[in-house]
Amino acid sequence: MTDETTPERSPFRITLLATGGTIEKSYDAHSGQLTLAVPVIERLLEALDLPDFIVRVERLMAKDSLDMTDADRDEIVDATAAVLAAGNTDAVLITHGTDTLADTAASLTAALPSPDLPVILTGAMRPYRVADSDAAQNVAQALMAARLLAPGVHAVLHGRAVPGDRVVKDYERLTIAPRR
Amino acid sequence: MTDETTPERSPFRITLLATGGTIEKSYDAHSGQLTLAVPVIERLLEALDLPDFIVRVERLMAKDSLDMTDADRDEIVDATAAVLAAGNTDAVLITHGTDTLADTAASLTAALPSPDLPVILTGAMRPYRVADSDAAQNVAQALMAARLLAPGVHAVLHGRAVPGDRVVKDYERLTIAPRR
Amino acid sequence: MTDETTPERSPFRITLLATGGTIEKSYDAHSGQLTLAVPVIERLLEALDLPDFIVRVERLMAKDSLDMTDADRDEIVDATAAVLAAGNTDAVLITHGTDTLADTAASLTAALPSPDLPVILTGAMRPYRVADSDAAQNVAQALMAARLLAPGVHAVLHGRAVPGDRVVKDYERLTIAPRR
Amino acid sequence: MTDETTPERSPFRITLLATGGTIEKSYDAHSGQLTLAVPVIERLLEALDLPDFIVRVERLMAKDSLDMTDADRDEIVDATAAVLAAGNTDAVLITHGTDTLADTAASLTAALPSPDLPVILTGAMRPYRVADSDAAQNVAQALMAARLLAPGVHAVLHGRAVPGDRVVKDYERLTIAPRR
């Protein structure tokens, strides 16, 4: 919960499961398209100041979340369960496309109702490699939230944490919000 | 504490007290120096995606924190107390130079031992207007922490929250850490 | 044409004809696509230091150059001829997609074999609003070239000026080169 | 000198003599100052698309141009003469502080009245590593000018080329201009 009541882990260990999504899209000048051909999340992390974190990146897939299948979602749940079981991390961070982030958050919440660590999904409305991106903000805030949130599945976007079973994408305001 | 136990404020109202510090320094081409002549914090906030925050900026001073006097620190404490008393905000965020951030955090903690809101100090090791700055990261993380931390005085830098009476600057690693 | 032999125009007047192309593409978070819906060239110009230029932007169209028709090319030729006839500019700069920039350069050269000003086509391999873009470089270099090149049609990209009737896109090296 | 009349060198070989100046200043978080402790010009060059240039960087000194002595200026003249004599480059580019760029330009013009290559001085009003810098623009434009200008000493800043014996700094408009 808070610094007052819980001895703080230092450095704080994050396992980041990368799955693709808008956050990782980058421009391919040969095709003139945004693609997921090149990993981006490592560059984003390097641009942050994280003197008291150990972040280990594990790539599960590189998919637009609209293309994710149930099998992909199962893979994410299984990988998360495996990380939790391994017992060598303080929080799990999952980077994910926003279009079906709510579905994966719901699957994770159903499969892992009482994880003993925070499991946090995040992503971006605009790719890290595009002007005025929200990607670095969201990863920075997800890392902060990983340290402060109670165990459980959460989505973190634009400075708001939403419980994993209540996530919806707000297509008008281009953000993640709690279902009312 | 967490989304599970507390009805979440939406939008979340922040009162940001700006005091200067490295975070706000910008290059003045006439003098060839970094100065605090131009407010920067508003630009930094505009570059973030904050669809569920209302941030009101109040400028107290524009000082390098090495130049802050006891009177300046009293002014910050008084302004914070006034914001808390006004009762129209959900958290207080104070942008501050890192060199004496620990002193101001200690003064705030002593003067306001049981505030009913989070009071969060943040800053940066490299100005927002300089390449590879940590300023946007720190403000983004402080905004996230403002939503998740318990009431009390805290410093937030580089993804770590430190209780207000235990803040020290780590000059070697260039960060804020808890006193051991 | 060099400073030594020609009295230099100061300020130097540029008429910039914007036609779209990769240089102006920006990310639309609603569709998840790069589009030409928003003008970009004005923002690019504002980010340059041009104390001795007067740049007037005239938008002709906002097209991916692969979608340009002969009618579009005629419109660009006619607009260029009109600017030359008006006699109130020192050079014409045309921003254009690179895929058919060679075709437009050839059309302009054929239609305007002896213009009395430099007519310079430029563009970018990566949008201005994307990380590591070459857009600002190319516009900056085209503005420099506008001041130094002899009258005639030229393409300028990546620090190289190519005569208008010899332009080819080098798809492997992602640049504009002279036909051998 | 235009493409029409002169066989163009491809790739174009630049020898860049780095001397320091505002263009290379970067923020040192330990001292809180802008310093010349770290070379910057190589990073700036890497951020440009230069498929048809070969740029060789030679560092002469790392000085604020206000601190340059007559001996420093002699060193720059001697190094330039040596590069010209070596005969293995197509142009010389000198990065330099703007405060005394005019003095060095005058010294070079006096010492090398008829060089057989363009010798171009450039710099910046705001460091490359600071927001809204003009550094990349100026180097990009100097590289373009290196290809188009006649042999002789020139200063290139903000899209304007000024003969080496007529350079003045315009402190009000923060640019380099020709003496009237």
* ipTM score of complex: 0.95
**Is the distance from CB of D142 to CB of D122 less than 8 angstroms?**
yes
For the cut 50, the answer to whether the pLDDT of residue B62 exceeds it is yes
The tens digit of pLDDT for each residue in D76-120 reads 999 999 999 999 999 999 999 999 999 999 999 999 999 999 999
- CA D74 – CA D87 distance, rounded (Å): 20
Indicate which of A26, A27, A28, A100 best probes the interface with C, i.e. most C CBs within 10 Å of its own CB.
A27
H-run or E-run covering B18: strand B12-20
Nearest to C73 by CA among C42, C94, C55: C94
Share of chain D above pLDDT 70, in %: 96
For the cut 60, the answer to whether the pLDDT of residue D21 exceeds it is yes
H-run or E-run covering B147: helix B135-148
For the cut 70, the answer to whether the pLDDT of residue A171 exceeds it is yes
Nearest to A153 by CA among A88, A66, A91: A91
Residue B7 confidence (pLDDT) = 56
CB contact under 8 A, D131 and B32: no
Q: Where are the alpha helices (DSSP H) in chain A?
A: 41-46, 70-86, 101-111, 135-148
Residue D1 confidence (pLDDT) = 41
Residue ranges of domains in chain B: 12-178
Q: Which partners does chain A have (≥3 C-beta pairs < 8 Å)?
A: B, C
A172: phi then psi, degrees, rounded to nearest 5 = -80, -50
Chain C: residue nearest A28 by CA?
Answer: C126
B173 interaction partners in chain A (CB closer than 8 Å): 51
Strands D152-157 and A160-163: unpaired
pTM: 0.95
Question: What are the residues whose beta carbons fall under 8 Å from the beta carbon of D76, sequence distance 6 or more?
Answer: D17, D19, D60, D94, D96, D104, D107, D108
Q: Where are the alpha helices (DSSP H) in chain C?
A: 41-46, 70-86, 101-111, 135-148
For the cut 90, the answer to whether the pLDDT of residue A162 exceeds it is yes
Nearest to B158 by CA among A11, D122, A70, A26: A11
Residue A7 confidence (pLDDT) = 56
For the cut 60, the answer to whether the pLDDT of residue C101 exceeds it is yes
Chain D: residue nearest C177 by CA?
Answer: D52
Residue C12 confidence (pLDDT) = 98
Residue type for position D106: A
Computed on alpha carbons and rounded to an integer, the radius of gyration of chain B in Å comes to 15
Question: What are the residues whose beta carbons fall under 8 Å from the beta carbon of D55, sequence distance 6 or more?
Answer: D14, D15, D16, D45, D93, D143
B30 interaction partners in chain D (CB closer than 8 Å): 171, 174
Nearest to A42 by CA among A55, A52, A54: A55
* pLDDT band at residue B180 under the 50/70/90 scheme: confident
CB contact under 8 A, C132 and D177: no
CB contact under 8 A, C129 and A125: no
CB contact under 8 A, D51 and C173: yes
CB contact under 8 A, B22 and D32: yes
Write down the catalytic residue from D80, D89, D98, D100.
D98
A174 interaction partners in chain C (CB closer than 8 Å): 29-30
D98: phi then psi, degrees, rounded to nearest 5 = -80, -20
For the cut 90, the answer to whether the pLDDT of residue D148 exceeds it is yes
C67 interaction partners in chain A (CB closer than 8 Å): none
Among chain D, residues having any CB pair with chain B shorter than 8 Å are 22, 26-27, 29-30, 32-34, 125-132, 171, 174
Positions of C annotated as catalytic residues are 98
For the cut 50, the answer to whether the pLDDT of residue A105 exceeds it is yes
**Is the distance from CB of C5 to CB of C110 less than 8 angstroms?**
no
Of D10, D137, D159, the CB nearest to C147: D159
- CA B16 – CA A40 distance, rounded (Å): 32
H-run or E-run covering B136: helix B135-148
Alpha carbon A66 to its chain's center: 16
- CA A169 – CA D19 distance, rounded (Å): 53
Positions of B annotated as catalytic residues are 98
What is the full DSSP assignment across A127-158? -TTBTT-SHHHHHHHHHHHHHHSPSEEEEEET
CB contact under 8 A, D174 and B29: yes
Return the DSSP state at C7.
Answer: P
For the cut 70, the answer to whether the pLDDT of residue D140 exceeds it is yes
The Cα of B57 is separated from the nearest Cα of chain A by a number of Å equal to 18
**Is the distance from CB of B154 to CB of B145 less than 8 angstroms?**
yes
The tens digit of pLDDT for each residue in C21-77 reads 999 999 999 999 999 999 999 999 999 999 999 999 999 999 999 999 999 999 999
Residue C8 confidence (pLDDT) = 75
Question: How many Cβ contacts (< 8 angstroms) between chains A and C?
Answer: 39
Residue type for position A60: L
**Is the distance from CB of D2 to CB of C162 less than 8 angstroms?**
no
Alpha carbon C143 to its chain's center: 9
The Cα of A175 is separated from the nearest Cα of chain C by a number of Å equal to 10
Residue D7 confidence (pLDDT) = 56
The Cα of A87 is separated from the nearest Cα of chain C by a number of Å equal to 37
CB contact under 8 A, A27 and C129: no
3-state secondary structure chain D: CCCCCCCCCCCEEEEEEEEECHHHCEEECCCCEEECCCCCHHHHHHCCCCCCEEEEEEEEEEECHHHCCHHHHHHHHHHHHHHHHHCCCCEEEEECCCCCHHHHHHHHHHHCCCCCCEEEEECCCCCCCECCCCHHHHHHHHHHHHHHCCCEEEEEECCEEEECCCEEEECCCCEEEECC
For the cut 70, the answer to whether the pLDDT of residue B5 exceeds it is no
The tens digit of pLDDT for each residue in A113-139 reads 999 999 999 999 999 999 999 999 999
Residue C94 CB: number of other CB atoms within 10 A?
27
For the cut 70, the answer to whether the pLDDT of residue B84 exceeds it is yes
Question: What are the residues whose beta carbons fall under 8 Å from the beta carbon of D70, sequence distance 6 or more?
Answer: none
- CA D137 – CA B71 distance, rounded (Å): 45
Q: Is B11 helix (H, G, I), strand (E, B) or coil?
A: coil
The tens digit of pLDDT for each residue in A6-62 reads 557 899 999 999 999 999 999 999 999 999 999 999 999 999 999 999 999 999 999
Q: Is C26 helix (H, G, I), strand (E, B) or coil?
A: strand
Question: What are the residues whose beta carbons fall under 8 Å from the beta carbon of A86, sequence distance 6 or more?
Answer: none
For the cut 90, the answer to whether the pLDDT of residue B113 exceeds it is yes
- CA C156 – CA C170 distance, rounded (Å): 14
Average pLDDT, chain D: 95
Mean pLDDT value of segment B125-133 = 98
D2 interaction partners in chain C (CB closer than 8 Å): 1, 149-150, 152
Among chain C, residues having any CB pair with chain A shorter than 8 Å are 22, 26-27, 29-30, 32-34, 125-132, 171, 174
Residue A41 CB: number of other CB atoms within 10 A?
23
B9 vs A12: which has the higher pLDDT: A12
Residue A168 CB: number of other CB atoms within 10 A?
16
CB contact under 8 A, D129 and B126: no
For the cut 60, the answer to whether the pLDDT of residue A69 exceeds it is yes
For the cut 60, the answer to whether the pLDDT of residue C19 exceeds it is yes
Q: Is C31 helix (H, G, I), strand (E, B) or coil?
A: coil
Average pLDDT, chain B: 95
Strands B152-157 and B160-163: antiparallel
* pLDDT band at residue C80 under the 50/70/90 scheme: very high
CATH class of D12-178: alpha beta
H-run or E-run covering B144: helix B135-148
What is the full DSSP assignment across B39-107? --HHHHHHTS--TTEEEEEEEEEEE-GGG--HHHHHHHHHHHHHHHHHT--SEEEEE--SSSHHHHHHH
- CA B141 – CA B54 distance, rounded (Å): 16
Mean pLDDT value of segment C163-178 = 96
Mean pLDDT value of segment B118-143 = 98
Share of chain A above pLDDT 90, in %: 94
- CA D44 – CA D21 distance, rounded (Å): 14
CB contact under 8 A, C29 and A125: yes
Mean pLDDT value of segment B70-90 = 98
Residue A136 confidence (pLDDT) = 98
